[in-house]
Chains A and B, each alone.
Chain A
Amino acid sequence: MGGSGGAVGVGERGGTPDRRSSEGDGEDEQQKQQRSEIYTYEAPWHIYAMNWSVRRDKKYRLAIGSLLEGYGNLMEIVQLDETTGEIRSDPALSFEHPYPPTKAMFVPDRDCLRPDILATSADFLRIWRVADDSSRVELRALLNGNRNSEFCGPLTSFDWNDAEPRRIGTSSIDTTCTVWDIDREAVDTQLIAHDKEVYDIAWGGVGVFASVSADGSVRVFDLRDKEHSTIIYESAEPPGTPLVRLGWNKQDPRYMATIIMDSAKVVVLDIRFPTLPVVELHRHQASVNAIAWAPHSSCHICTAGDDSQALIWDLSSMGSDQQPAASAAAAEGGLDPILAYTAGAEIEQLQWSSSQPDWVAIAFSTKLQILRV
């Protein structure tokens, strides 16, 4: 299992000539060898879950998960070998995963204060421990929110709280969101969050998270007062269209972005002005599949979709009137992205590395690519 994928130096670029850099990566001066800025890894299966490692001692490391129908699925941990420019999967760190993981995340612990753990969501939330010598991955905890019931709503997504890494919030098709204390391996809070399936969840601060749902709403929850939630946006055209993904801008928590089912637009919200998007991004030519806020800038976002494009947007004009260019663009029917990348197929997954903000990773078909911004 695993490990059979090959790495290709430069991925398909749709006619764009290869551009290779002639110098090293800066942080590694000795290695001044040629290197391409697109690294591709081909997995033996369709990739869906994919994410960057956050730890500073594990650069260019990612976890990818298969999307195979049924029980038997796989996770691999891959890493870019900076000397050869190859992304390799470590067979010792590949492991079986029950059902396709809907999301994977490494512990948000840049300073390596915590064990090297990884969480995945599928039928349950699972915490995996990568051995310190990288010899194996072990299941450390299986967190089941519904101990009393045989029914467990499969988890659609989860988010790890940056500010409080013991907390993970999960969203479920059973309309609930659950906040876990992974240190105690117990439920902190479980809330019936929506009228329908909850599709995504994102933390906005220590005790605040938001979720999106098949009921078409974005709701904000404050754990200090679990009785209330606030609907800050509801999909229109037509009303109640499911919202499928949510991203909260960690750098500037005033903003969050959401994706609508079957829609090519991305809606950006300002939490202070409920109901009305602060801007809508309209330049994708097919439905959007993933969004990722820049980890190091408060006003940049990357979006990717079925049009095989990953677009990077500068939203700094959102809150000021000092950007005549943007305003002019707005007059012409919306903001334009600043940068674009075209992949070989529909981009299903997108993650921006929080510890190496120069890099974004995308997954399309069976390929993983890491791209320099």
Chain B
Amino acid sequence: MEADLEIHEELPEKHHLRKQIAATVRKIQWSYAIFWSISTRQPGVLAWSDGYYNGDIKTRKMTQPIELKADQIGLQRSEQLRELYESLSAGDSNQQTRRPSASLSPEDLTDAEWYYLVCMTFKFTLGQGLPGKALANKQHIWLNNAQFADSKIFSRSLLAKSASIQTVVCIPFMGGVLELGTTELILEDVDLVKQITSFFWELPNPICSEQSISSPQLAERGEGIICPDIDNGIDNSIPSEHHHLIADRQTPLESDPTHFPFPIHSYVPAEHTESVKVEELHQNICEEPDTCSPDDSSNECCLTHQLEDLLGADGLNGMSRTHSLQLVDDEFSNGLLHGSLSSDEHATMSFVDAQRAVSSATREPTRNQMLGGLQEGSHGKHISLDLDGDDSHYAETVATILRTSKLVNPVLCFLKVSFRSSFVVWRRGFNAPKSFIGTPQKLLKKILMDRAWWRGNHVLSERRRRDKLNEKFLALRSLVPTGGKIDKASILDDTTQYLKHLERRVQELESGTAVLGTTDRRKNPDVAERTSDNYLGNEITNEWKPPGNKRKACDMDEGEAEHHFVLSKHGPVHVTVTVKEKEVLVDLRCPWRECLLLEVVESMSNLHLDPISVQSSTVDGMLALTVKSKLRSSNVASPGMIKRSLQRVISKCL
């Protein structure tokens, strides 16, 4: 309370300083300027002395409708911001009545204004933070990309990020530090620094009409509670600054025991052991501005109401974590809140929750009304959806969306039914159209769901696919002794049979090689067995028997050469001939030898067959040949003839 009194002491030179600051920042068109000066109560600590906000403004509120000059508007805005800060820190329940109607609410602020406002809570020792360093080194510091700066260098980088502040300059000046910031990226310009300082002095004395602006020694307020701890912990920047924030906001709360009966001090000592929590809390405070503002952009109506809640939420944060958890939990029983508070890693979560708490507080009644019974009994569902890890991820996503969205004030009654409008005012039953019969969402479904729709598309890719498949089938068929049928099922059937056969052979050979020795006796049953196996296959394909027999014959011919088995040099000889009208398809598989291909074609030619396509491959000494040919004359050779003639050619040298 003492601090309050001090604030309102208006010193003339201070007044002038403010105008100088204002003129300077306006001239270079940056977003804000803050003058940090050595605290009168705490020597060696730089605290907010004065400032001027020159950035974007969302909602303008004025008591009097008179037109002010731009600089006056700016000064008034800065003043309003400071008042808001005070009222926020004062945080007592009577605020609503005390505050004039034109005062700002947190909802009225842009992110940059929030940044400016929160800066009021900061303090720096010599050499600490950007202003502290500038003062210690007696050298200006120009920081680009402030939003990404290491928090050790620029402790407000998180805040800057939300406010899109990119460039911050600190100039040691008049025993204090003049800090200027802008949302633009401006590269270091020593001349500009010089210009700023010189301009500052050139400025003629009063440049704008007298206004009652009180001077804010705001940062002084929280000192009583926090100083020693804070200043020690200052090197590890972020948390330390949270302390500032938290403490600053706590101070007024403490002064209102009816509202917050919990001793704030009890929280402070715990800080060091609970640094993570502190960080969470910090997030709460830091991030709140930018989430609150979009949040409330659409409902200006319950501003004061929300402010109260906002303060309430802050108060909760200031208290021990358990308290806040309990309170928030009890009040809103929001499942998401649960997940977040128990998750220490995802600090950002908590701010969403804080915000959620705020909005829940104000919205819950509305929503209940709006949705009738829907809202009730929904808590269970909320909780069931609560996914620990994902949730924090989602909270960040939501935060990003809300932060990056450009805020547009709702055009509340933009739709005046003009006489040119094509629309008419809706009235129940008035516009009743003819009742709709037919497929609902017919076109929509056609576009989205009708598969036939895309058949056209599939025809192309399907054809390509089928061509490829056919090609492969052909290749497969050339490797497998098949029946006369060339349909895919038969080919697969034959392949299955053939594979089974081969497997069996492998098995036989593996088990046989040891015992088999060199006796032919052992080999013969083997062959017989295989033949019978083939026979089974023949029940389906009916064409395997001949090759099987043929093969057997070959094997018999080569009698003793059992290594032929082992090396599989001789597969079964197999010939299929299919005649379809004037087209003859010859499928042939036999051990390869020189000139065989030529002779086959020759023999076909002798039979008045004109080969139109030949496909052949040789794998492991086996020739696989597919010849498509046309009958040259009407003198049709029977398939049997062709086959026999081919077999003759093949067996020539076997």
Residues of B contacting A299 with CB < 8 Å?
298, 410, 412
Return A252 CB to nearest CB of chain B, in Å. Answer: 6
Residues of B in contact with A (beta carbons under 8 Å apart): 294-295, 297-299, 301-302, 336, 352, 355-356, 359, 362-363, 365-367, 369-372, 374-375, 378, 381-382, 385, 387, 389-391, 393-394, 396-398, 400-402, 404-405, 408-412, 414-415, 417-426, 428, 430-436, 438, 440-449, 453-454, 456-457, 461, 464-465
A108 part of interface (Cβ distance < 8 Å): no
Q: Which residue of B lies closest to A321 (CB)?
A: B366
Residues of A contacting B299 with CB < 8 Å?
316, 319-320, 322
Q: B374, A276: Cβ atoms under 8 Å?
A: yes
CB-defined interface of A335-365 with B at 8 Å, one 1/0 digit per residue? Answer: 1111111100010100000000000000000
Q: A278, B453: Cβ atoms under 8 Å?
A: no
Residues of A contacting B374 with CB < 8 Å?
276-277
Given A48-B443, A220-B394, A272-B359, A21–B432 Cβ distance below 8 Å?
no
Return B346 CB to nearest CB of chain A, in Å. Answer: 12
Q: B375, A276: Cβ atoms under 8 Å?
A: yes
CB-defined interface of A131-151 with B at 8 Å, one 1/0 digit per residue? Answer: 000000000000000000011
Q: A372, B420: Cβ atoms under 8 Å?
A: yes
Q: A318, B428: Cβ atoms under 8 Å?
A: no
A154 part of interface (Cβ distance < 8 Å): yes
Given A102-B447, A296-B411, A19–B419 Cβ distance below 8 Å?
yes
Given A289-B441, A298-B298, A341-B424, A320–B436 Cβ distance below 8 Å?
no
Q: Which residue of A lies closest to B413 (CB)?
A: A314
Residues of B contacting A187 with CB < 8 Å?
none
Residues of A contacting B394 with CB < 8 Å?
220, 222, 228, 230, 232, 274
CA distance A291 to B578 in the complex (A): 62
Given A230-B390, A272-B352, A289–B443 Cβ distance below 8 Å?
yes
Residues of A contacting B385 with CB < 8 Å?
231, 274-275
Q: Which of A150, A252, A312, A331 contacts B423 (CB 8 A)?
A: A312
Q: B295, B389, B422, B430: which has the most chain A beta carbons within 10 Å? A: B422
Residues of A contacting B449 with CB < 8 Å?
197, 214, 242
Interface residues of A in 186-222 (CB under 8 A from B): 197, 199, 204-208, 214, 220, 222
Return A336 CB to nearest CB of chain B, in Å. Answer: 6
Residues of A contacting B446 with CB < 8 Å?
67
Given A204-B401, A206-B404, A271-B398, A346–B442 Cβ distance below 8 Å?
yes
Residues of B contacting A297 with CB < 8 Å?
410-411, 414-415
CA distance A286 to B378 in the complex (A): 28
CA distance A16 to B419 in the complex (A): 13
A–B Cβ pairs within 8 angstroms, 17 of them: A205-B404, A205-B405, A228-B393, A242-B449, A261-B445, A272-B398, A275-B385, A285-B433, A289-B444, A296-B414, A298-B408, A298-B410, A300-B414, A306-B440, A316-B410, A346-B442, A373-B415
Q: A327, B456: Cβ atoms under 8 Å?
A: no
Q: A373, B422: Cβ atoms under 8 Å?
A: yes
CA distance A67 to B445 in the complex (A): 12
A308 part of interface (Cβ distance < 8 Å): yes
A307 part of interface (Cβ distance < 8 Å): yes
CA distance A348 to B446 in the complex (A): 11
Residues of A contacting B352 with CB < 8 Å?
272
Q: Which residue of A lies closest to B459 (CB)?
A: A71
Residues of A contacting B412 with CB < 8 Å?
299, 316
Residues of A contacting B417 with CB < 8 Å?
339
Return B398 CB to nearest CB of chain A, in Å. Answer: 6
CA distance A99 to B372 in the complex (A): 45
Q: B441, A262: Cβ atoms under 8 Å?
A: yes
Q: Which residue of A lies closest to B436 (CB)?
A: A286
Residues of A contacting B297 with CB < 8 Å?
252, 298
User: In the complex, given contacts A252-B410, A296-B408, what are 19 additional A-B residue pairs having Cβ atoms less than 8 angstroms apart?
Assistant: A21-B420, A150-B465, A154-B454, A228-B393, A244-B444, A275-B385, A279-B371, A286-B436, A296-B411, A298-B298, A298-B411, A306-B442, A319-B363, A321-B302, A333-B372, A339-B421, A340-B425, A348-B444, A372-B420
Q: Which residue of A lies closest to B411 (CB)?
A: A297
CA distance A279 to B369 in the complex (A): 11
A38 part of interface (Cβ distance < 8 Å): yes
Q: B397, B402, B434: which has the most chain A beta carbons within 10 Å? A: B397
Q: B298, A330: Cβ atoms under 8 Å?
A: no
Q: Which residue of A lies closest to B434 (CB)?
A: A308
A129 part of interface (Cβ distance < 8 Å): no
Q: A337, B366: Cβ atoms under 8 Å?
A: no
Q: B302, A322: Cβ atoms under 8 Å?
A: yes
Residues of A contacting B402 with CB < 8 Å?
253-254
CB-defined interface of A289-313 with B at 8 Å, one 1/0 digit per residue? Answer: 1000010111110000011111110
Q: B428, A279: Cβ atoms under 8 Å?
A: no
Q: Which of A274, A309, A312 contacts B431 (CB 8 A)?
A: A309
Q: Which residue of B lies closest to A229 (CB)?
A: B390
Q: Which of A207, A242, A340 contacts B426 (CB 8 A)?
A: A340
Residues of A in contact with B (beta carbons under 8 Å apart): 14, 16, 19, 21, 37-38, 46, 48, 67, 69-71, 99-100, 102, 123, 150-152, 154, 156, 163, 173, 197, 199, 204-208, 214, 220, 222, 224-225, 228, 230-232, 242, 244-245, 251-254, 261-262, 271-279, 283, 285-289, 294, 296-300, 306-312, 314, 316-322, 326-327, 330-331, 333, 335-342, 346, 348, 371-373
Q: Which residue of B lies closest to A286 (CB)?
A: B436
Q: A372, B418: Cβ atoms under 8 Å?
A: yes
CA distance A306 to B374 in the complex (A): 27
Q: Which of B369, B418, B426, B447 contacts A327 (CB 8 A)?
A: B369
Residues of B contacting A272 with CB < 8 Å?
352, 355-356, 359, 398
CA distance A83 to B436 in the complex (A): 37
Residues of B contacting A340 with CB < 8 Å?
423-426, 430-431
Given A208-B397, A298-B408, A314-B415, A279–B423 Cβ distance below 8 Å?
no
CA distance A275 to B371 in the complex (A): 14
Q: B447, A100: Cβ atoms under 8 Å?
A: yes
CA distance A336 to B429 in the complex (A): 11
Q: B415, A330: Cβ atoms under 8 Å?
A: no
Residues of A contacting B397 with CB < 8 Å?
208, 220, 222, 230
Return A272 CB to nearest CB of chain B, in Å. Answer: 6
CA distance A271 to B401 in the complex (A): 10
Q: Which residue of B lies closest to A296 (CB)?
A: B411
Residues of B contacting A342 with CB < 8 Å?
431, 433
Q: Which residue of A lies closest to B369 (CB)?
A: A327
Q: B422, A251: Cβ atoms under 8 Å?
A: no
Given A299-B298, A319-B366, A327-B370, A372–B382 Cβ distance below 8 Å?
no
Q: Which of A99, A244, A254, A335 contacts B456 (CB 8 A)?
A: A99
Residues of A contacting B408 with CB < 8 Å?
251-252, 296, 298
CA distance A298 to B443 in the complex (A): 29
Return A139 CB to nearest CB of chain B, in Å. Answer: 17
Q: B365, A321: Cβ atoms under 8 Å?
A: yes
Return A142 CB to nearest CB of chain B, in Å. Answer: 13
CA distance A337 to B428 in the complex (A): 9
Q: A222, B436: Cβ atoms under 8 Å?
A: no
Q: B443, A336: Cβ atoms under 8 Å?
A: no
Q: B423, A371: Cβ atoms under 8 Å?
A: yes
Q: Which of B294, B391, B441 contacts A254 (CB 8 A)?
A: B294
Q: A69, A273, A314, A318: which has the most chain B beta carbons within 10 Å? A: A273
Q: B401, A276: Cβ atoms under 8 Å?
A: no
